[in-house]
Structures are given as C-alpha cells and as structure tokens.
Structure 1
Amino acid sequence: MVNSIIVYFSYHRGNTSKIAHVIGRELNSDIARVKDATVKNLNRYDLIGLGSGIYKGKPHSSIFEIVDKLDDGFKDKYFFIFCTSRKNQECYLDELEMKLKSKGVKYLGRFQTFGEYDRGIFKFFGGINRGRPDIEDFQNAASFARKLKEIVENEKLENS
C-alpha cells in the first residue's frame, strides 16, 4: 500500500479540487488544501501530489512555497504534479517540475486537464470549457493515479 497525500490549491470554480479528489480516491490518499499542509506533516508520506489551478501562467505561489521548503529529508519521496486550466499548455507546469527536480526528489510526472473558466471577458459569453473537468477528464486522472501507484509499488518491491 502506498502512503500518499494530495495537496492542492483550488480557488475560482473548484476544478482542481475535483481532480485532486479523483486522484485521491484512486490512491486512497489523504487530501489537504495547501493552507492546511505543512512540510513537516508531508514528510510522513511516501507519495506526494501537488496540484493547482493556473494563475497568470503558472501554479499558485503557495505550491511553490511548499516546494521551496523541501529539504534533503524528501529525497526518498515520490512526487507528482497536476493542474487544471482554461488552456491546456504543457509549459504551465515546467517551472514547478524543474523546481521539484532540483530538490532531488523522485519525480513521477504530471497531469493536466481543462477547467471551466468564467472570469474576465469570458464571463460575458458564459465562460469556456463548460462542464470541464468532465467524466473523460476524471477517467484520465484516475488512470494517471493508477500508473503512479503501480510505479511506486513496483519500486518498493524491488527495494525490499
């Protein structure tokens, strides 16, 4: 069994929260909003997921603050990242991925999907990506989580 936690920041529409809970159910994870998570508490988990909506082209600053506080005690921990956004651009998670890798953690990958967006000018048109994330997005998130679980379980078996 993989001891895991999902830490996320979700603000406007709850899109990231929905994905966090899908991944969390698949991994049987604890789930925490970033404001309730501390680096000290994260150290007791083997697998840590960090998720956020995208704000001005990147994950919320609170996610970066957690990564900044990671010390050498996290080098044996597995990490993955995920996001929801109005545009599904690969570059949104690049900076966070590089920062995690620079900490020397066992980085497993990323998951991205669309999120409903009705801010700014889009609110006058009923928003974009209505209904997203949807059932297909949830299935893709669950599949991503199963792959993560398999990787961690297989590596734990090899090391035992």
Structure 2
Amino acid sequence: MKTIILYRSKHRGNTKKLVDAIAAFDKGVETLDIATLGKDEYPDLSSYRLIGVASGIYYGHFDRDLKRVLEHSLSYGDKIFGLMTYGGANKWYGRDLVAVCQLKMASVLTMYGCRGFDSWGLFRLFGGIGVGHPNEEDIQGAVDFYARLREDYEEILEQEWQARSRRLAQEAAHPRRGFFSNLVHRVTSRFSNRKEEPRG
C-alpha cells in the first residue's frame, strides 16, 4: 500500500520519533518533512493510497505550515490518518486537521496521539512537561496503530484508489460541461459540420 507521511516536528523532535518508528517498521512508507519544501512547493499526493499527517500540537493546533501544504495538496477522496504529540491532554486536539480535510473532501480515517516533552514558553521555567515522552511504549503504540490501520484498510484502500483512478481518467477523456458550455458546443459543432451550400 503506497503510503506517505507528511510531518512537522519543530520543537523537541517528538513527532519525528513516531514517524521514524513507523518508517522503520514498514520500509515502503515514504516520509516528507514539510520544512524542506520551498514556500510555493507542494507535493503531488495523487499516487498514494494512504496519507499520514503528523505534527506536534502548538497552542492546541497542528502546525500552520503543515496545514497550508495540505490545503494545496489534498484532493477529493484522499484517505488520511493523523499522528500527534502534545504536552497537555485535550480530546479536541486534531480537530483543525479534520476541518482542513473536510474542506478538501478528504477523509480522516483515524488518529493516534501521545504525550511529548514540552518545554515551550513558561513550561521551560519548570523543566517542561511530559518529560521522557514519547517513551518506548508511546512509540510502539504508534507502530501498532499503523499496523492495525494497514491490516484493516489495505485491501479496501487499494480498491478505492483504483476505482478513483479509473473515474478520473474517464472524466479527463470526457470532460463534463455545464448547460451553457453544452449549448455553445452543440451550436458550434452544428455549424462546423454543415456543408457549404453551392451558390448560383
């Protein structure tokens, strides 16, 4: 199952630990640190059956640059899973990722999150929170999460991707027109196909 994980892990590298563990477990998983992209550079995700989106949680939200990349790169029907690390514990983490995917008509299948070492802002004065996280158990949890996701969805996602590819190819070969475009096309076709009458 062709899979890519787009990630941003800019504070303590917490999220990158999860991404690297999944990539080590499944050598076929590609990873892309969106920090390596240019300002107006966006990846082509059309060949991937499954797209992972991984981020630390910054002030309650996924990374802003990662969401910008998703807004330009996701397409109708894309299947997404989320990974996140956070200092606090809030059941609403990840809602902004879901919102971006809904706007692009992509589907978030499931998400995994765990604590991460956070020494941002005032937390630095107290030695940070979530010290020692993600630990081995957290990281293995991410790997197990991905393994279950692949086991449960691999065949379904491949079938859906193949069906979508056929539909897109069909639409490209026979583009749909609106009412006005259809009317113009019929009129111009009629005149272009009419044989010129002999003049006497």
TM-score range, shorter chain: 0.7 to 0.9
Equivalences for residues 40-55 of structure 1 within 5 A: 40-55=43-58
- The answer on whether the counterparts of 1:26 and 1:145 sit within 8 Å (CA) in structure 2 is no
Q: Secondary structure at the match of 1:97?
A: helix
Q: Secondary structure at the match of 1:83?
A: strand
Q: Secondary structure at the match of 2:97?
A: helix
- The answer on whether the counterparts of 1:15 and 1:53 sit within 8 Å (CA) in structure 2 is yes
Q: Which moved more, 1:13-22 or 1:92-101?
A: 92-101
The answer to whether residue 141 in structure 2 is matched with residue 140 in structure 1 is yes
Q: Distance in 1 between matches of 2:106 and 2:122?
A: 40
Q: Specify the alignment match of 2:21 in structure 1.
A: 22
Q: Deviations over 1:58-95 (max 9, x none)?
A: 01111210221135xx3343211111110121212112
Q: Specify the alignment match of 1:93 in structure 2.
A: 94
**Number of residues paired by the alignment?**
157
Q: Specify the alignment match of 1:70 in structure 2.
A: 73
Across the aligned residues of Structure 1 and Structure 2, the Cα RMSD in angstroms comes to 2.1
Q: Distance in 1 between matches of 2:36 and 2:46?
A: 14
Q: Distance in 2 between matches of 1:123 and 1:98?
A: 31
Q: Distance in 1 between matches of 2:151 and 2:77?
A: 17
CA positional deviation for 1:156: 4.4
Q: Distance in 2 between matches of 1:25 and 1:100?
A: 27
Q: Secondary structure at the match of 1:84?
A: strand
TM-score under structure 2 normalisation? Answer: 0.70
Q: Which has the larger radius of gyration?
A: 2
Q: Distance in 2 between matches of 1:158 and 1:34?
A: 29
TM-score under structure 1 normalisation? Answer: 0.86
CA positional deviation for 1:107: 2.2
Equivalent position amino acid for 2:136 in 1: I
**Given the superposition, is the C-alpha separation of residues 67 and 11 from structure 1 closer, same or farther in structure 2, using an over 3 Å criterion?**
same
- The answer on whether the counterparts of 2:19 and 2:54 sit within 8 Å (CA) in structure 1 is yes
Identity %: 28
- The answer on whether the counterparts of 1:16 and 1:51 sit within 8 Å (CA) in structure 2 is yes
- The answer on whether the counterparts of 1:27 and 1:149 sit within 8 Å (CA) in structure 2 is no
CA positional deviation for 1:41: 2.8
Greater strand content: 1
Q: Which moved more, 1:52-61 or 1:27-36?
A: 27-36
- The answer on whether the counterparts of 1:111 and 1:144 sit within 8 Å (CA) in structure 2 is yes
Q: Specify the alignment match of 1:79 in structure 2.
A: 80
